[in-house]
Amino acid sequence: MTFTTRTTGTTRQKNHALLYPRFLWQLFLNSFRGGPAFYLWMTCLTAIAVVGLGAYAHQVNEGMRITALTDHVSWGLYIANFTFGVGLAAGAVMMVIPAYLYDDHEMHDLTIIGEILAIAAIALCLCFVIVDMGRPDRLWHMLPFIGRFNWPISMLTWDVIVLNGYLLINLHVTGYLLYMRYLGRKPNPKVYVPFVFLSIGWAISIHTVTAFLYQGLGGRPFWNSALLAPRFIGSAFITGPAFVIVLLQVIRRVLGLQINDRPIGTLRSILRITIPVNLFMFCSELFTALYTGGHHSAALSYLMFGHEGKTALVPWIWTALAFNASSALLVHSKVGLRGLNAACVLAFVGVWIEKGMGLIIPGFIPSTLGEFVEYIPTLTEWRITAGVWALCLLLLTLGIKAARPVLEGELAARRAEHS
Amino acid sequence: MICVIAAACGERHHSESAFRQRIATAPAASARPNETPRAETRDPVQLHALTLLDGKGQTKQVNCVSCHSLAPLDKLREQQLSVHGGERKLSHGNLTCKSCHDQDHNDRLTLVGGDTAPMTEAITLCGQCHGPQYRDYKRGSHGGMKGYWDRSVGTRERMHCVDCHDPHAPAFRPLMPVLPPHGSAEKAR
Amino acid sequence: MAETTSTRRRALKVIGATLGASAFAAAAAPIKHWAENLSLGEVLQKHYQELTPEQLKDVLSRLERETLRKYGAEVTIEDIRPEPNTSFGYALNLSICIGCRRCAEACHKENNHDRATNNSYIRVLEMQKGSLDLEKGNAHYDHPVPAPDKFYMPVQCHQCDNAPCIKVCPVQATWKEPDGIVVVDYNWCIGCRYCEAACPYHARRFNWKAPEIPAEEINPHQSYLSNRIRPQGVMEKCTFCLHRTRRGQLPACLEACPTGARVFGNLLDPNSEIRWVLENKRVFVLKEELGTKPRFFYFFDE
Taking only the tens place, the pLDDT of each residue in B52-100 is 656 666 666 666 666 666 655 555 566 566 656 556 678 888 888 888 8
Which chains sit next to B, with 3 or more Cβ pairs under 8 A? Answer: A, C
Neighbours of A401 (CB within 10 A): 20
Q: Which ipTM was obtained for this model?
A: 0.93
C-alpha of A36 from chain center: 28
pLDDT mean over A109-127 = 93
In chain B, the N- to C-terminal Cα span, in Å, equals 49
**The predicted structure's pLDDT at residue A49:** 96
- Ranking A8-12, A218-222, A279-283, A322-326 by mean pLDDT, the lowest is A8-12
**The predicted structure's pLDDT at residue C186:** 97
Report the predicted TM-score, pTM, of the whole model to 2 decimal places.
0.88
Residues in chain C: 302
Residues of C with Cβ-Cβ distance to B142 under 8 angstroms:
93, 96, 259-260
**Which of B16, B146, B148, B179 should one mutate to test binding to chain C, selecting the residue with the greatest count of C CBs within 10 A?**
B179
Domain assignment present for A10 = no
- Ranking A230-244, A333-347, B60-74 by mean pLDDT, the lowest is B60-74
Q: C244 vs B23: CB contact, 8 Å cut-off?
A: yes
Domain assignment present for A24 = no
- pLDDT tens per residue, range A364-397: 999 999 999 999 999 999 999 999 999 999 999 9
Closest residue on chain A to B186 (Cα): A373
Computed over every residue of chain A, the mean pLDDT equals 90
Residue C235 pairs in a beta bridge with C206
**The predicted structure's pLDDT at residue B82:** 62
* Three-state SS annotation for chain B: CCCCCCCCCCCCCCCHHHHHHHHHCCCCHHHCCCCCCCCCCCCCECCCCEEEECCCCCEEEECHHHHHCCCCHHHCCHHHHHHHCCCCCCCCCCCCHHHHECCCCCCEEECCCCCEEEHHHHHHHHHHHCHHHHHHHHCCCCCCEEEECCCCCCCEEECCHHHHCECCECCCCCECCCCCCCCCCCCCC
What residue type is B41 in one-letter code?
Answer: T
Considering only CB atoms, B183 lies closest to which of A70, A372, A375, namely A70
Pick the more confident residue, A98 or C150: C150
Residue A4 has pLDDT above 50, yes or no: no
- pLDDT tens per residue, range A173-207: 999 999 988 888 888 989 999 999 999 999 999 99
**The predicted structure's pLDDT at residue B88:** 66
Domain assignment present for A216 = yes
- pLDDT tens per residue, range B153-176: 999 988 888 888 888 888 888 999
Residue C76 pairs in a beta bridge with C221
Domain assignment present for A179 = yes
Minimal C-alpha gap between C105 and chain B (Å): 6
Q: How many domains does chain A have?
A: 1
Alpha-carbon dihedral sign for residues A69, A74, A79, A84: negative
Residue B1 has pLDDT above 50, yes or no: no
The CATH code for residues C88-300 is 3.30.70.20
Whole-number Cα distances in Å, C268 to C87, C271, C272, C280: 6, 9, 8, 16
Domain assignment present for A108 = yes
The residues near B18 (Cβ < 8 Å, ≥ 6 apart) are none
Furthest-apart CA atoms within chain A: distance in Å? 82
Q: B185 vs A373: CB contact, 8 Å cut-off?
A: yes
Neighbours of B8 (CB within 10 A): 5
Residue B37 has pLDDT above 70, yes or no: no
Q: Is A70 on the interface with B (CB under 8 A)?
A: yes
Domain assignment present for A392 = yes
Minimal C-alpha gap between B74 and chain C (Å): 34
Domain coverage including residue A183: 34-256+266-418
pLDDT mean over C27-54 = 90
pLDDT mean over A59-82 = 96
Residues of A with Cβ-Cβ distance to C16 under 8 angstroms:
43
Residues of C with Cβ-Cβ distance to A368 under 8 angstroms:
199-202
- pLDDT tens per residue, range C61-101: 999 999 999 999 999 999 999 999 999 999 999 999 999 99
The CA-based angle A299-A231-A97, given to 5 degrees, is 165
Residue A263 has pLDDT above 50, yes or no: yes
Residues of C with Cβ-Cβ distance to B9 under 8 angstroms:
none
- Number of B:C CB contacts under 8 A? 144
**Domain positions in chain C:** 88-300
Minimal C-alpha gap between A378 and chain B (Å): 11
**The predicted structure's pLDDT at residue B50:** 59
CATH number for A339? 1.20.1630.10
